[in-house]
Amino acid sequence: MNVWGEVHVFQERTFVTRGRFTTGVAVEGDASGARLGEAILRLYALDPDSYRDEKASWRAFCEDVVGVPVRRYHPEKSARVYLRDSTWHVAVGPFGPEAEMPAVPAIDVPHELGALVRRVLDASEPRWPAIRQVMILTLATGRLIVMPIVRGSLVGPVCTAEPETASLLSAVRATLPESDREWGENPEYVEALATAGVDGKLLNGCATVHLEELSTDSVRLTGTGSAHHRPVTERSWLGPPATSPRCAPRLRG
């Protein structure tokens, strides 16, 4: 028998799922031994037809069990846990090294399986997800525009700013909430530029800063284009929240 699923760590809580867009449960309390193993075994015993329901079970898991919208559920750690040829395997990432659980008496399987999964997760580095994202772009006129990013795409509305601290921070703060919408709720890129009266040709060869607000309440900035009138390929910086004035000099750099 081959069964497969994932164990996630999200905001310091542990969850067991049958994979993305299936279903899942929370492991409350001590998620390091038998309790985690029992949750894995119990969930993996479910009939797959019970959650093949056009993602309704996944939505219920995210909203009712985790307590966040589906778009916000991005675990910091994830391990694949599967049974193949009567042996339990645990791996981080699709190509990561695998750990195998030695054969043990059936009564010890929950504890040993949970302990193995916890060791693998504890040894992995977290990948802090971006909660909200915007792009800052330079215009040929010297002004700046800030646009939200939804599902990896630039969308509207467009917020314009002057290249000085107060104006830029105000535009970023106003735009970040716009990136926290469902796909299709924002104006499309071309429509947004037209509504803001921005000629797309003024963006040719522009410098950009990709600002990501992380789940750690910090921001990651990735800039491309130019810096201090010198061409650069890409520069990254991790620092305080976008609401902090300390972030502004990096945005303008």
What confidence tens digit (pLDDT) does each residue in 36-77 have?
Answer: 999 999 999 988 888 888 889 999 999 999 999 998 899 999
Report long-range pairs for 152-157 (Cβ below 8 Å, ≥24 apart).
153/189, 154/189, 155/186, 155/187, 155/188, 155/189, 155/192, 156/186, 156/187, 156/188, 156/189, 156/191, 156/192, 156/193, 156/195, 156/196, 157/186, 157/187, 157/192, 157/195, 157/196
Please tell me the distance from the alpha carbon of residue 43 to that of residue 25, in angstroms, as a whole number.
Answer: 8
If pLDDT is split at 50, 70 and 90, which confidence band does 229 have?
very low
What pLDDT digit, counting tens, does each position of 155-165 carry? 999 999 998 88
The tokens describing 162, both together, are: 């002057």
Length of the chain: 253
Domain boundaries, the chain: 3-123, 130-252
Please tell me the distance from the alpha carbon of residue 209 to that of residue 220, in angstroms, as a whole number.
Answer: 10
- The larger pLDDT score, comparing residue 228 to residue 5, is at 5
Which whole number is the average pLDDT over 150-154?
91
If pLDDT is split at 50, 70 and 90, which confidence band does 242 have?
low
Residue 223 has pLDDT above 90, yes or no: no
Phi then psi for residue 166, to 5 deg, are -60, -45
Please tell me the distance from the alpha carbon of residue 221 to that of residue 214, in angstroms, as a whole number.
Answer: 11
Residue 93 has pLDDT above 70, yes or no: yes
